[in-house]
């Protein structure tokens, strides 16, 4: 069994665990649950498109990145505290999707190409929000701290990996393909590890209160 299949199984188990407390927890928890479930669905469909319909999946990266940007923006909107931080977040939440969608409207061919610019535009704001959340909670109760660390670690490292993919294509270093893919999968396992810890903290805290 390929390593990616174990990743899907791990992700599915994680989603089921989070759905256990879906209606008993707050808005941030619900948004985060929808986020990890949506990512699982998009990733799985993307991986099966060619075997099902002989369609290359490159265009699904746009759905993944936009979905991740929107859902995590709403997730951090429930966690960030200052009006200035929320103003920046909601401004980007409006401007970036309009900008990205307009690119495909005026140049539809771009929809079927991978865009490193899009990756950076949708990822860097989330990294900034995560750092803001860490800063806000330096001397306070750390809400969703493990989920936040998992998100930050994965997005920061995966963005660098995507850059390496582009450099690899430019310089024709195809022998690094498997190494980069496996590194990204390992990073996702680490991310899920932080998400599992976050679920455990929330679940057992609720259990103790009951």
Task: State the Rg of the chain over Cα.
Answer: 18
* pLDDT bucket at 210, cuts 50 / 70 / 90: very low
Count of the separate structural domains present in the chain? 1
Q: Is the pLDDT of residue 174 over 70?
A: no
Judge contact between 54 and 18, C-beta under 8 A: no
* pLDDT bucket at 9, cuts 50 / 70 / 90: very high
Cα separation, 153 vs 179, whole angstroms: 19
Of 208, 197, 205, nearest to 17 by C-alpha is: 197
- pLDDT confidence of residue 171: 63
Higher pLDDT pick, 193 / 204: 193
pLDDT per residue as tens digits for the range 161-173: 888 777 766 666 6
- pLDDT confidence of residue 204: 81
Enter the tokens of residue 59.
Answer: 């265009």
Q: What is the mean pLDDT of the chain?
A: 89
pLDDT per residue as tens digits for the range 109-155: 988 888 889 999 999 999 999 999 999 888 777 789 999 999 999 99
Enter the tokens of residue 126.
Answer: 């989330």
Q: What is the mean pLDDT of residues 87-115?
A: 93
Judge contact between 28 and 39, C-beta under 8 A: no
Cα separation, 144 vs 79, whole angstroms: 9
CB proximity list for 176: less than 8 A, separation 6 or greater: 164, 168
- pLDDT confidence of residue 162: 81
Cα separation, 107 vs 161, whole angstroms: 27
Q: What is the mean pLDDT of residues 53-67?
A: 85
Q: Residue 87's domain spans which residues?
A: 3-209
- pLDDT confidence of residue 163: 81
- pLDDT confidence of residue 91: 97
**pTM of the full predicted structure?**
0.91
Of 5, 150, 41, 153, nearest to 161 by C-alpha is: 153
């Amino acid at each position: 069994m390929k390593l990616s299949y174990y990743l899907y199984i791990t992700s599915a188990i994680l989603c089921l665990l989070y759905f256990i407390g879906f209606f008993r927890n707050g808005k941030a928890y619900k948004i985060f649950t929808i986020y990890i479930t949506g990512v699982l669905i998009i990733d799985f469909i993307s991986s099966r498109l060619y075997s099902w319909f002989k369609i290359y999946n490159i265009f699904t990266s746009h759905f993944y990145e936009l979905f991740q940007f929107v859902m995590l923006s709403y997730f951090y909107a429930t966690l960030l505290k200052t009006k200035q931080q929320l103003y920046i977040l909601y401004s980007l939440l409006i401007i970036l999707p309009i900008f990205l969608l307009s690119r495909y409207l005026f140049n539809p061919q771009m929809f079927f190409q991978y865009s490193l610019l899009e990756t950076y535009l949708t990822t860097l704001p989330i990294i900034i929000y995560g750092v803001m959340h860490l800063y806000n909670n330096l001397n306070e109760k750390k809400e969703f701290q493990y989920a936040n660390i998992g998100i930050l670690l994965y997005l920061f490292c995966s963005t660098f990996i995507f850059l390496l993919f582009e450099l690899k294509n430019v310089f024709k270093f195809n022998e690094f393909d498997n190494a980069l893919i496996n590194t990204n999968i390992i990073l996702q396992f680490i991310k899920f590890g932080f998400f599992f810890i976050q679920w455990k903290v929330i679940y057992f805290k609720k259990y103790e209160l009951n």
